[in-house]
A and B are shown apart, each in its own frame.
Chain A
Amino acid sequence: MAEEHKARIFTLVYRTYMAAFLLYLVMPLLAAGVFAFNDSLFPTLPWQGFTLDWFFNDSEPKLGMFHDGRLLRGLTNSLYIGVLVSLGSVFVGTWNAFLFERVDFPFKRFLYLVMVVPLVIPGVIIGISILLFASMVADGVWAVLGTSPDWLRPGIPLIVLGQCSFLITITSLIIAARLQQFDISQEEAALNLGATRQRALFTVTLPYLFPAMFSAFVVAFLVSFENFNTTMMLVGSDAPLSITMYDRIAKVGSTPVLNAVSVFLMVASGLLALSSVLVQRKRP
């Protein structure tokens, strides 16, 4: 009887712990979210009533995020960077998946390790390494031609390259995992039925890979959109949203418009993540 009593207390304590943990997880997100709807100039209690002003109002002092020029520019820059980065890293990731799953070549195990390494390099260091290397190349070009291309200076192109450098590892791993499960006899069947290699690739293999490519795209996009450490070293005059928002927190402190941006980011990334799950589910 005592044993059972002890077990019950144990379960109770354990459940309380889990509840406390989930509360810890949710609390900051809730705090960031709720005050986007408070009709007050500061993101704090007391509750002054519900409002959508921090999203849609078009005049100071309660300038909503969709009328705030700098935030909007940051948002467009982030979208632009995110799409380029995701396209690039899904493209290279797909090639890498075929390289490591389909063919044999010398030093394959070693090169696979090399492929994984970018994940363990801190983002700040990736940032400074790309910045340094690009400026060394620019100096070299300058010495020869007397001019050097602008895209080697801090700005969107360097941000895209910097983010791709570690995201390619992630997309490669996601796509390779799916390709590994592919039953090669499906492709052989297509070839036996008279399809060319190219046609077999485009009608059998790539459609099979599509869900993995899509979720690799979503993951890359989300990571790119949120990335700060690599981006801050490479940012030029066109800052993405993460940098704009950081500057606002560091300079202005907390204003409810940042809560509104937080809500927007949470909803958007939630929907994207959900879409990726759905695409994965649809084609088992």
Chain B
Amino acid sequence: MMRSDSSKLALFLLMTPFFLWIVLLIVLPQMGIGYVSLREKLGPREYAFGPGNYIDFLMEPIYWHTLLRTAWMSILVTVLALLIGFPVAYYIAKIARQRSRTALLLLCLIPLWVSDLVRAFGWIVLLRESGLISGALQWTGLASGPVEMLYNDATVVIGLVYTVVLFMIVPLYSTLDGLDDALLEAGYNLGGGGFTVFRRIIVPYAMPGIVAGSIITFMLTAGSYLTPILLGGKNSSWFTEQIYNQFITRYNWEAGATFGVILLAFTSLVIWLGLRLTGQSLATTVAKG
């Protein structure tokens, strides 16, 4: 009896920090946004309860255009990161010699330890009107005057792919690393060409890594702020910027919370679809990544 009481007490003590954290820092604050998003402001300190903020969102094309634009660009960035990252991960896992593998992987990971801000600043130094690339183009005679390469969508995409591609490479590398070379040889011996082996063996095998990488990449992109704002300029119309503007600049917490719920719902939906379509689970996918 004593023993079970004391082990119950131990379990209770062990669970306390977990529940304090989850309830106070995650669950209640998230419910708080949900609550405020359903609160319609009638006047000073006067509120009604209803979906008015969501209707406002739908009625104002600028808002949902920004969301669609963010979504579309995030998907583009995810696909590009996959296309660029896959050959890199495959090279490190399967083609590079054992000794150079660790070095290559470490080399690929270096930018991961440098803050977003420094990376974005590096792109600014390279790409702005008086920047390095513009200077190089003039020096070689390819351009007659300064070229401004900042503040357009292509630059934003390049910068975003740069910030997230590593989160694609790492999960891809860890799944591809487990791929037995014998499987590939079997594929070739059975008469498969390079493309068939790639499509029928490598891609299905790498699927967990592809899903994990894509989910992390998509989420990071859709939720990013620095890269689109700094490389795209003040009017880059990124959804997180809308949230910031509503909250901090215009002090309209009701609209800001509504946008927050919409962004969260949207990223969750995409993640859920991704997991559903490929039969993976969140716990294994994210914990691995």
Interface residues in chain A, defined as those with a beta carbon under 8 Å from any beta carbon in chain B: 14, 17-18, 21-22, 24-32, 35, 42-45, 91-92, 95-96, 98-99, 102-103, 105, 109, 111-126, 128-133, 136, 161-162, 164-165, 168, 173, 222, 225-226, 228-229, 232-233, 242, 245-246, 249-250, 254, 258-259, 262, 265-266, 269-270, 273
B177 at the interface (CB under 8 A from A): no
Interface residues in chain B, defined as those with a beta carbon under 8 Å from any beta carbon in chain A: 10-11, 14-18, 21-22, 25-26, 28-30, 32-33, 36, 84, 87-88, 91, 95, 104, 107-108, 110-111, 113-126, 128, 130-132, 135, 162, 215, 219, 222-226, 230, 240, 243-244, 247-248, 253, 256-257, 260, 263-264, 267-268, 271, 282-283, 286-287
Q: How far is the CA of A233 from the CA of B135 in the complex (A)?
A: 37
Q: Which residues of B contact A123 (CB under 8 A)?
A: 223
Q: Which residues of A contact B14 (CB under 8 A)?
A: 95, 98-99, 102-103
Shortest CB-to-CB span from B270 to chain A, Å, is: 10
Q: Which residues of B contact A162 (CB under 8 A)?
A: 25
A136:B32 contact, CB within 8 angstroms: yes
B283:A27 contact, CB within 8 angstroms: no
A24:B162 contact, CB within 8 angstroms: yes
Shortest CB-to-CB span from A34 to chain B, Å, is: 9
Q: Which residues of B contact A32 (CB under 8 A)?
A: 118-119, 121-122, 125
Q: How far is the CA of A30 from the CA of B283 in the complex (A)?
A: 37
Q: Which residues of B contact A120 (CB under 8 A)?
A: 215, 219, 267-268, 271, 282, 286
The 8 closest A-B pairs by CB, nearest first: A122-B223, A28-B122, A129-B29, A226-B115, A32-B122, A165-B25, A133-B29, A133-B32
Which of B162, B225, B267 neighbours the largest number of chain A CB atoms within 10 Å of its CB?
A: B225
- Given contacts A92-B18, A92-B21, A120-B215, are A228 and B132 in contact (CB under 8 A)? no
A242:B22 contact, CB within 8 angstroms: no
Partner of B130, one of A22, A25, A44, A246: A44
Partner of A229, one of B223, B257, B260: B223
Additional A-B contacts beyond A254-B121, A262-B114 (10; CB < 8 A) = A18-B87, A32-B125, A44-B125, A95-B16, A128-B33, A128-B247, A132-B29, A226-B115, A228-B116, A262-B121
- Given contacts A32-B121, A120-B219, A128-B256, are A95 and B17 in contact (CB under 8 A)? yes
Partner of A129, one of B30, B135, B267: B30
- Given contacts A164-B25, A229-B240, A258-B121, are A125 and B223 in contact (CB under 8 A)? yes
Shortest CB-to-CB span from B266 to chain A, Å, is: 10
A116:B247 contact, CB within 8 angstroms: no
Partner of B224, one of A42, A121, A229: A229
Partner of B18, one of A28, A35, A44, A96: A96
Shortest CB-to-CB span from B118 to chain A, Å, is: 4
Q: How far is the CA of A250 from the CA of B283 in the complex (A)?
A: 38
Which of A45, A119, A120 neighbours the largest number of chain B CB atoms within 10 Å of its CB?
A: A120
Shortest CB-to-CB span from A89 to chain B, Å, is: 9
Q: Which residues of A contact B263 (CB under 8 A)?
A: 122, 124-125
A29:B223 contact, CB within 8 angstroms: no
Q: Which residues of B contact A225 (CB under 8 A)?
A: 115
Q: How far is the CA of A254 from the CA of B230 in the complex (A)?
A: 11
Partner of A128, one of B10, B110, B135, B257: B257
Q: How far is the CA of A31 from the CA of B130 in the complex (A)?
A: 13
B223:A28 contact, CB within 8 angstroms: no
Q: Which residues of B contact A45 (CB under 8 A)?
A: 132, 135
A124:B107 contact, CB within 8 angstroms: no
Shortest CB-to-CB span from B287 to chain A, Å, is: 6
Partner of B128, one of A105, A254, A265: A254
A42:B130 contact, CB within 8 angstroms: yes
- Given contacts A123-B223, A225-B115, are A118 and B18 in contact (CB under 8 A)? no
